[in-house]
Amino acid sequence: MTSARFITRNSGVAIWRQIADQIRGDISAGKLANGTRMPPEIEMATRFAVNRHTIRSAIAALTKEGVLRAEQGRGTFVANSRKLTYRIGERTRFSQILSTQVRETKGILLAHRLEEAPADVAEALDMPSGQVIRIDTMHTADGNPVSCATAWFDAARVPNVAEDYRSSGSITFALKAAGIDDYLRKSTLIAARHAEAEELRHLKLSPGAIVLVATAINVDTEGHPIQYSKTRFAADRLEIAIDNNNSA
């Protein structure tokens, strides 16, 4: 394990979180490979100049997030040093993008409702007024949650999108059921922030974890907006790549 660095006290970020982020960074950078046994707590406490309770909190957070695993009587080991790559291109489809990286993907409908279109949603969907269907979803890869999303659709155009998504776990299938056989990514805006309470729960993250937020608009083949979405990815499990060749 590399030496301690960048521990800033009174910064507003808990010390245990800073240590957890440094360990995660070393794993992502390949300095700690899958199966590597972590040093004993007392050694890490000395290295970071903190008490063992602080180290224990950092290790517990990373274990909860699936980055580390604890084995009774043996110690704590690196469980996942490989990030998934999510490529955004002209055709962005969750299951297709990850099909070569994992064995199974799954889309789960968390909630849905009919509502008056908020101003930003109405603008994105190019509808001056009217009702939209909002669906909240979660995606898993090999059983591990990697993203949760909120998407809005013009209720008049895709009235059964929630039910069709529930039965299929696929936006592509749900849109096809409404007569939209193909769709394209018009725009994507990516930002990073700390995960909120609901995201912590659904993605099984610890307080202070970072999510990547992709705000996107999809259009049909004639260029009419059909979906506005905000997808939150667990930053320690997945990285986003922009495909300039538009082949995703």
Q: Tens digit of pLDDT for each residue in 166-216?
A: 999 999 999 999 999 999 999 999 999 999 999 999 998 888 788 999 999
Strands (DSSP E) along the chain, which ranges? 68-71, 75-78, 84-88, 105-116, 131-141, 144-154, 183-194, 210-220, 225-234, 238-242
Tell me the average pLDDT across 225-241: 92
Q: What's residue 190's pLDDT?
A: 96
pTM over 0.85: no
Relative orientation angle of helices 52-64 and 41-48, to the nearest 10 degrees: 110
- Does position 224 have pLDDT exceeding 80, yes or no? yes
Q: Please tell me the distance from the alpha carbon of residue 113 to that of residue 136, in angstroms, as a whole number.
A: 9
Is pLDDT larger for residue 67 or for residue 113?
A: 113
Q: What's residue 246's pLDDT?
A: 47
What's the pLDDT tens digit per position in 40-97? 999 999 888 899 999 999 999 888 877 888 888 889 999 866 778 888 988 888 888 8
